[in-house]
Amino acid sequence: MPVKNRFAELHDEITAWRRDIHENPEILFETHRTSAMVADKLREFGCEEVVEGIGRTGVVGVIKGKSDASGKVIGLRADMDALPIHEQTGVEYASKTDGAMHACGHDGHTAMLLGAAKYLAETRNFDGTVVVIFQPAEEGGGGGREMCNDGMMERWGIQEVYGMHNWPGRPTGSFAIRPGAFFAATDLLEIEVEGLGGHAAKPHETIDSTVVASQLVLAAQTIASRNADPVEQIVVSITSFETSSKAFNVIPQRVSLMGTVRTMSAEMRDLAEKRLNEICDGIAATFGARIKLVYHRNYPVMVNHDEQTEFAAKVATSVTGQCDEAPLVMGGEDFAFMLEERPGAYILVGNGDTAMVHHPMYNFNDDAIPAGCSWWAEIVEQRMPAA
């Protein structure tokens, strides 16, 4: 059962939607234009129900099959938000908003799910109900958590949920997936180091906050190299180091650090937080400084459910003839919140030989649209075959 012919027919139309979204990127929960466009399209397609404002600016559409003897309800989710990056692609439909661009392909995800929704509303060749979910604020805002907290799963009786992300470097339209832990937990840390500032010529009269903070940066790396089991996945990165003075001859009073911790298990997540607190306390005592750590647990590990992953891979194979095993990904994905509430699976679709996501030269590959749309449609038709 290869790529559906209907999506070849709809390809130009779906591409036009994608490029319109690309040209008008919106960040985090500010997806007002995109959300309105999505809602208008879903109503135009004939969805039984279209609800806006779920998870602040999320949109949910409901499509009923020809029958409902199965009583099954499946959710399909796409993300809508862009990134605070200045686009450098030079394409004719490049971002018209300075400092914002679709550098992760959410424009493609939204357009593909709209294409699948149009097809499913046209054919209704399934027994059950489809809930199409268009989510804001995947890029750090936790829009998936917000939609779940608004009671989305319970309100529409969603029983399973499926998501998709494009993947540069994979052949265009090919698929890859893995069961279990897939995307990492992505925690955030902020550290304030308070020393005693003074003249750079008299370091003995100061508590040098730059030295203290530098020790912290180095010590944090020992969590992965000396505390964690080497076979575990953990990344501790200090990504910002900012002093309270910019002068050449001043030892600053304060240093602010920021960073991220990526882990693939609850045990490693707990270890990282515990060791960072101990390191901060120990270095503060050693140098006589004051150190405050704020450790924010952000996105949890995204875990694919075994049965649904096997099914999703089978569907992908039916569409393109093959589905590969995906690697572990140390990036985060807030679809994790939906998979904590309901069984489901998340799959990668190849974007071809393009720039990597989160790069100013990245662009979603429109040639992946038919495969992506077909996978979503087949998830529905194979999971809930028409009576």
**Residue 110, amino acid:** T
CA distance 285 to 362: 46
- What residues contact residue 27 under an 8 Å CB cut-off, 6+ apart? 81, 82, 83, 84, 100, 139
**Residue 128, amino acid:** G
Residue pair 83/339 in contact (Cβ under 8 Å)? The answer is: no
Give the three-state DSSP class for 70: coil
Instruction: Find out whether 104 is annotated in a ligand binding site.
Output: yes
Residue 169 region, left (φ>0) first, then alpha (ψ -120 to 50), else beta?
A: left
Nearest in space to 302 (alpha carbons), one of 74, 54, 115, 77: 77
CA distance 356 to 195: 40
CA distance 177 to 349: 9
- What residues contact residue 32 under an 8 Å CB cut-off, 6+ apart? 26, 57
**Residue 73, amino acid:** V
Instruction: Find out whether 305 is annotated in a ligand binding site.
Output: no
Reading the block at residue 79, the tokens are: 């993300």
Number of residues that make up the chain: 387
- What residues contact residue 35 under an 8 Å CB cut-off, 6+ apart? 52, 57, 58, 59, 80, 134, 136
H/E run at residue 57: none
Instruction: Find out whether 139 is annotated in a ligand binding site.
Output: yes
Torsion from C-alpha of 177, 135, 107, 25, nearest 10 degrees: -140
CA 40 to chain CA centroid, Å, is: 25
Nearest in space to 77 (alpha carbons), one of 120, 51, 106: 106
- Spell 76-107 as b/e; 16+ CB within 10 A means b: bbbbbbbbebebebeeebbbeeeebbbbbbbb
Instruction: Find out whether 106 is annotated in a ligand binding site.
Output: yes
Point out the annotated binding site. Answer: 104, 106, 139, 165, 358
Give binding residues for Mn(2+) as ranges.
Answer: 104, 106, 139, 165, 358
